[in-house]
Structure 1
């Protein structure tokens, strides 16, 4: 297992096929956020910049946090060791990273910037550009856009829940600087 957002290289003396995957865990979401932003900004630099399946998983993580934290629902029979409590600063940062990914899920989706009839290497016509601007048309399906909006709403509810219970205060009574 390699933590997210770490540089790595694969070397082989012969022609090879490399298989692998991504392991998402709530305790590494800060690094996952950075890695997904890097993948979005430089998809051609990375060997696997587009990770369509991860979007669904990240939406499920937001739902997990929402149910466990905001609604205080846990299925102890299924996962007795699962603890969705936020009891360390690292856990808070990971929670905020999950919420950030949900809030910006449309922004970090390359399909948001493509016309429904997009073809790689073919420029958009002026008419297609006008459709995208005027009617907010893009290559995302209605279901995907609705799922992003729903997750974004859950993320905002999680942040509201957090703000209602916690307050950040400076250590040792030091004044926070702007």
Structure 2
């Protein structure tokens, strides 16, 4: 599976349960198989807070949380869920660590970046994706990420949120 939406040169090798095609068991990294939970665990047990994705390792954990946990494990590909594609290489993404584990992420389209489907650019920063794992919803992490987005672009006159907005996010309720 490609690590980036817009670049096929870097791919992730996934081990899938043959009895449940949409169940990823492990990911191959550096010639070794790692369980999904192992990848989301920081080697620094006190890892806390929101970080901009900058390193290859951070990009891999974002991919695992985005595509595998949300997409497969939490039913993102289901009829009522949303299945996220890998993020484009040059776009802004942040991950939120809590208790040494990665549970949440945001993805932002910056002002002037090219829209995916048309040859026009975004005229304002847009919060494209905000994701909090189900077990951590209603703990303030979504609000933390939303506040960070607003603070990051405090000098802007207007900010956007991508559409469609899931009914759960619109109503601010736990699923």
TM range, normalised to the smaller chain? under 0.3
Rg larger in 1 or in 2?
A: 1
| Larger fraction in helix | 1
| Larger fraction in strand | 2
